[in-house]
């Protein structure tokens, strides 16, 4: 991934109030532990090389109780969009969708090679997903509403979103 | 006299809304509108994607029957069910049956206008299903038992104080709610509980992909995501027009919808679900079992609603309403909407400019009759619409249809002779406002007596009673000597031998009979810059009848104008126009009224007078003969002029001549042709005008300048001093 795309991604995240922590695979577990607030629930990082939640404070598999009580939900991210700081969350049987949605903080683990420049460049990924009945969500920043007369963050979805960027993947 | 009573009632209703909801609506809508401008400015591809989006929609609606079948196959092969409902009753019956089959007691819903349209909440309540709106705005309305006032911000007529008062009353908390945070936290927790308990989740859909059965939901709160995946059963309810072929076609809409709606680059969540989804079922009653381990199974129903849409598809004029992605930009960019909101400017379900199309298609034209007049044709929504729907035209067409339904008034003898036969059944006020030209001719021929006459109080009372003319408004003063008289008096004159441009100046009705000075100023300016000027025959462009929905009369006038201009255009004259609303006729509306060749020729060769002056100066004409500034200027450009993008020329010319100019950025002055003259809309018109007034409060004694007649009249009324057309500022001195 070109540095300019990553830079764009980082500045877009900053614009929408999402913090970013860079790490290499080797330091992943300790980095993640420093980012999450416990209790934390997570979805296994399927297909990520050499990193796993098993040596972190994050509990798996997700249960309904954890969805309700966890302070943090940790999920993989299939793609990210540099232009808007968007995370592409693929729905899966392991529960990426509810785990990214229920706890007040969502920590998204992004591989740098998955950062794409813009919305249009995600079309191929989405087409592949939808063709086999898959679902995906573009999530950009924290949930918000203006319906109570002023902008409030953290409505039905998370109040905080943090990205952990794996710079060597 | 019942028409006058009706008008009084309407005025009363508007007054009440201006007082109760106006301020909050204005604040919120203006904010959304500004957000859209900012987002458009940041986004280079806006125009290209609008074009693409329109093409996609046009094609999708054209191929709709095929797309529905493709979608049915996709949904079924994914394991869901597609039900095509003819109308609201059919849809509600099916949904109730699904609820019964699941023994459902509660259902959570995310925001969906289509479910408002079919009134599914009431239907479900009838079969004993408790429905909870989980979008916070919809929840507020559910608690307040009110209807939405905006397509995307259903409760934006309510301030924080309003919501706090409501919630304190209904939920009686130990500590009264005060801040937006407290209210949001309460609603989230309260609804969170409802979502966990619910047997069914119901959502709408912003877009549906035929080839995969994927539904797209564009939201900010996260409630749609939760409602769709927490209960095992998901019902999505949406209009048939939401189908697009596939993911390739989705991209422009994802880019456009939030920018147009709220000014966000992208919404918080763009959820693309291909149900039944892979996400595990969640059984909160077995809290410690891993997600998905219960025996719950996901079930999905897509309920596609026709409810008049297929008939709209066959209606050449209403068809493009189906391209609408319900972003609300047309409402946000509308001066009248900004002030009065969707409770006045809306029908049973839909609000804003495009509501006329939706309500007419779904409920019939009568559903639009109450609010259709609130569209003044200012056209500010035209550039805002992400799918380029000609919203003013839809309003005009429906107005025309409504006119034809109205029984002739027994008082129509008053305006007899004002209307050609084509529109025989019009109400007296429509005839009056629609035939300004006839009136102007008469008024001018009998001036000054005509002017004295209409200044008499008893006459104004009668005009209010029978014609709906607001007694507070000053009426135009007709000139005995018309612009044409003056122009003829300068003959015989030879063509300007050095002229490198030949111009035919269009003497619009106002310029010819009322504001003759601006016509003379235009002639002198153009001549001073080296053009040879001829004057066209004064024939009304059709703007006045069109604004009343009198399409046949407008077409006849457009034809007459085209015939008159033909020899000039054939001889390669440039057509210069002083009144922006007439320029907009030539460049925009004539597309609908004339055959293509005539339209092309007129629109291509027509120029705003200041645009033309700018062109002459850019091509080397000297500014020397033009007037130099003698006072600073406050300039309000005209709404239609801004839509055409020609307002900047006036500013550029004034700049070049060294004028000190401040400009306004309100969408419309509030007068909008004859709108502000109407008794029932006078107060709204002045309320809209107030915003313009506020912008120029610091203007001190700057010269008030406006391009449109109505803006000039409105400024004159607002500031109690004269306003002038920009060409009068720059015209060389002298009278001939
Ligand atoms: S008509 Fe256009 S601007 Fe208005 S809501 Fe529909 S898409 Fe948006």
* Calpha distance B232→A151 (Å, rounded): 32
Give the angle subtended at the CA of B342 by the CAs of B339 and B345, to the nearest 5°: 80
Contact indicator for B222, A161 with CB cutoff of 8 Å: no
Q: Which residues of B180-214 are buried (b: 16+ CB within 10 A; e: fewer)?
A: bebbbbebbeebbebbbbbbbbbbbbbbbbbbbbb
Compute the distance between CA of residue B671 and CA of residue A164 in angstroms, rounded to an integer.
56
Closest CA to B545 of B532, B556, B554: B554
What 3-state class would DSSP assign to B707?
A: coil
Q: Is B382 in the pocket of ligand 1 (CB under 6 A)?
A: no
Considering CB atoms only, which of B209, B214, B225 is closest to A101? B225
What global pTM score does this model have?
Answer: 0.92
Nearest to B501 by CA among B478, B473, B532: B532
The shares of helix, strand and coil residues in chain B, as percent rounded to the nearest 5, are 55, 10, 35
Strand bridging mode A79-81 / A115-116: parallel
Q: What angle do CA B430, B432, B433 make, to 5 degrees?
A: 70
Indicate the top mutation candidate among B54, B241, B252, B352 to test ligand 1's pocket, ranked by most ligand atoms within 8 A of CB. B352
Tell me the pLDDT of chain A (169 aa) as tens digits.
567 999 999 999 999 999 999 999 999 999 999 999 999 999 999 889 889 999 999 999 999 999 999 999 999 999 999 999 999 999 999 999 999 999 999 999 999 999 999 999 999 999 999 999 999 999 999 988 888 888 888 889 999 999 999 999 9
What are the tens digits of pLDDT across the range A61-89? 999 999 999 999 999 999 999 999 999 99
For residue B283, which phi and psi values (nearest 5 degrees)? -115, 95
Cα angle A78, A82, A88; round to 5: 25
What is the ipTM for the molecules in this complex?
A: 0.97
Helix (H/G/I), strand (E/B), else coil: A141: coil
pLDDT value at B202 more than 50: yes
Q: What is the dihedral of CA B615, B616, B621, B625, to 10 degrees?
A: -110
pLDDT tier for residue B736 given thresholds of 50, 70 and 90:
very low
Question: How far is A139 from A13, CA to CA, in rounded Å?
Answer: 11
Q: At what angle do helices B160-171 and B136-144 cross, to 10 degrees?
A: 60
Distance CA B232, CA B398 (A): 44
Q: Which of A57-61, B17-21, B427-431, B606-610 has the lowest average pLDDT?
A: B427-431
Please tell me the distance from the alpha carbon of residue B100 to that of residue B104, in angstroms, as a whole number. 6
Residue whose pair of structure tokens reads 């919120």 in the numeric block? B28
pLDDT band at B651 (very low <50, low <70, confident <90, very high): very high
Residue B252's alpha-carbon distances to A138, B112, B207, B226, in angstroms, are: 15, 21, 12, 26
CB pairs under 8 A between A and B: 191
Phi, psi of B42 (to 5 degrees): -75, -20
- Whether chain A has a CB inside 8 Å of the CB on B664: the answer is no
- Ligand 1 pocket mutation pick from B386, B390, B667 by most atoms within 8 angstroms of CB: B386
Residue B457 has pLDDT above 80, yes or no: no
Helix or strand holding residue B506 (H, E): strand B501-506
Task: Report the separation in Å between the CA atom of B357 and the middle of ligand 1, taken as the mean of its atom positions.
Answer: 11
B219 φ/ψ angles, rounded to the nearest 5 degrees = -145, 170
DSSP string, B526-593: HHHTTEEEEE------SHHHHHTT-HHHHHHHHHHHHHHHHHHHHTTPEEEESSHHHHHIIIIIHHHH
Q: Rg (Cα) of chain A, in Å, rounded?
A: 15
- With a cut of 50, say whether residue B524 has pLDDT above it: yes
Provide the chain A residues 57-76 that lie in CB contact (below 8 A) with chain B: 61-65, 67-68
Does the beta carbon of B354 lie inside 6 Å of ligand 1?
yes
For chain B, positions 218-247, list CB contacts with chain A under 8 A. Answer: 220-223, 225-226, 229-230, 246-247
pLDDT, tens digit, 9 for 90 and up, residues B249-280: 999 999 999 999 999 999 999 999 999 999 99
- B133 phi, psi to nearest 5 deg: -80, 125
pLDDT band at B694 (very low <50, low <70, confident <90, very high): confident
Residues of B in contact with A148 (CB under 8 A): 136, 140, 160, 163, 180, 183-184, 187
């Amino acid at each position: 991934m070109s540095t300019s795309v990553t830079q764009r991604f980082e500045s877009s995240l900053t614009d929408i109030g999402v913090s970013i922590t860079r790490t290499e695979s080797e330091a992943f577990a300790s980095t993640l532990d420093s980012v999450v607030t416990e209790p934390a629930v997570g979805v296994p990082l399927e297909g990520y090389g050499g990193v796993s939640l098993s040596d972190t404070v994050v509990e798996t598999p997700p249960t309904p109780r954890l969805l309700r009580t966890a302070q943090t939900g940790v999920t993989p991210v299939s793609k990210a969009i540099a232009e808007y700081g968007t995370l592409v969350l693929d729905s899966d049987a392991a529960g990426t969708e509810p785990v990214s949605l229920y706890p007040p903080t969502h920590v998204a683990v992004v591989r740098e090679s998955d950062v794409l420049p813009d919305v249009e460049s995600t079309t191929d990924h989405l087409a592949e997903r939808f063709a086999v009945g898959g679902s995906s969500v573009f999530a950009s920043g924290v949930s918000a509403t203006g319906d109570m007369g002023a902008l409030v963050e953290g409505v039905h979805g998370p109040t905080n979103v943090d990205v952990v960027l794996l710079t060597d993947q | 006299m019942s028409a006058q009573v009706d008008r009084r009632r309407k005025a009363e209703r508007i007054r009440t809304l201006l007082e109760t909801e106006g301020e909050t609506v204005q604040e919120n809508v203006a904010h959304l509108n500004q957000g859209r401008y900012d987002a458009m400015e940041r986004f280079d591809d806006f125009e290209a994607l609008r074009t693409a989006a329109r093409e996609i929609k046009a094609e999708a609606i054209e191929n709709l029957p095929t797309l529905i079948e493709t979608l049915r196959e996709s949904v079924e092969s994914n394991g869901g069910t597609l039900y095509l409902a003819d109308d609201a009753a059919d849809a509600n019956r099916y949904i109730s049956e699904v609820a019964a089959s699941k023994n459902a007691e509660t259902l959570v819903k995310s925001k969906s206008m289509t479910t408002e349209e079919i009134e599914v909440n009431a239907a479900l309540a009838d079969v004993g299903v408790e429905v909870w709106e989980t979008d916070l705005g919809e929840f507020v309305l559910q608690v307040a038992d009110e209807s939405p006032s905006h397509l995307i911000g259903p409760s934006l007529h309510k301030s924080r104080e309003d919501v706090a008062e409501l919630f304190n009353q209904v939920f009686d908390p130990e500590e009264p709610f005060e801040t937006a945070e407290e209210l949001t936290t309460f609603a989230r927790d309260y609804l969170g509980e409802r979502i966990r308990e619910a047997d069914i989740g119901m959502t709408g859909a912003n877009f549906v992909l035929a080839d995969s059965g994927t539904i797209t939901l564009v939201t900010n709160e996260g409630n749609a995501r939760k409602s769709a995946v927490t209960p095992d059963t998901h019902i999505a309810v949406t209009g048939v027009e939401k189908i697009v072929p596939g993911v390739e076609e989705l991209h422009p809409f994802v880019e456009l919808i939030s920018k147009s709606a709220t000014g966000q680059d992208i919404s918080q969540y763009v959820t693309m679900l291909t149900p039944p989804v892979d996400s595990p079922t969640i059984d909160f009653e077995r809290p410690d079992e891993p997600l998905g381990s219960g025996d719950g199974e996901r079930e999905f129903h897509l309920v596609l609603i026709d409810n008049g849409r297929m008939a709209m598809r066959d209606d050449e004029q209403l068809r493009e309403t189906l391209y609408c992605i319900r972003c609300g930009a047309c409402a946000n960019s509308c001066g009248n909407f900004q002030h009065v909101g969707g409770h006045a400017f809306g029908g049973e379900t839909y609000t804003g400019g495009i509501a006329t199309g939706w309500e007419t298609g779904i409920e019939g034209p009568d559903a639009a009759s109450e609010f259709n007049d609130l569209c003044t044709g200012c056209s500010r929504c035209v550039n805002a619409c992400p799918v380029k729907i000609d919203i003013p035209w839809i309003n005009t067409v429906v107005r025309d249809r409504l006119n034809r339904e109205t029984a002739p008034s027994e008082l129509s003898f008053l305006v007899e002779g004002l209307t050609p036969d084509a529109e025989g059944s019009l109400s007296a006020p429509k005839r009056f406002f629609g035939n300004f030209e006839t009136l102007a001719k008469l008024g001018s021929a009998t001036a000054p007596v005509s002017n004295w006459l209409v200044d008499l109080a008893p006459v104004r009372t009668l005009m209010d009673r029978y014609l709906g003319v607001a007694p507070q408004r000053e009426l135009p003063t007709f000139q005995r000597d018309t612009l044409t008289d003056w122009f003829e008096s300068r003959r015989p004159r030879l063509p300007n031998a050095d002229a490198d441009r030949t111009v035919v100046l269009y003497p619009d009705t106002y310029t010819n009979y009322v504001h003759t000075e601006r016509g003379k100023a235009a002639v002198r300016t153009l001549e001073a810059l080296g053009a040879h000027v001829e004057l066209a025959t004064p024939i009304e462009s059709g703007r006045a009848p069109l604004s009343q929905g009198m399409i046949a009369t407008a077409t006849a006038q457009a034809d007459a104008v085209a015939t008159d201009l033909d020899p000039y255009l054939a001889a390669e004259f440039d057509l210069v126009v002083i009144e922006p609303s007439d320029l907009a006729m030539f460049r925009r509306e004539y597309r609908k009224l004339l055959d293509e060749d005539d339209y092309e020729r007129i629109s291509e060769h027509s120029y705003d007078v200041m645009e033309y002056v700018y062109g002459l100066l850019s091509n080397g004409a000297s500014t020397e003969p033009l007037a130099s500034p003698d006072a600073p200027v406050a300039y309000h450009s005209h709404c239609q002029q801004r839509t055409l993008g020609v307002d900047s020329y006036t500013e550029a010319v004034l700049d070049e001549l060294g004028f000190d100019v401040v400009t306004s950025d309100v969408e419309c002055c509030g007068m909008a042709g004859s709108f502000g003259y109407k008794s029932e809309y006078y107060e709204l018109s002045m309320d809209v005008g107030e915003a313009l007034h506020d912008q120029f409060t610091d203007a001190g004694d700057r010269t008030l300048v406006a391009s449109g007649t109505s803006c000039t009249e409105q400024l004159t009324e607002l500031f109690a001093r004269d306003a002038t057309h920009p060409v009068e500022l720059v015209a060389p001195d002298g009278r001939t």
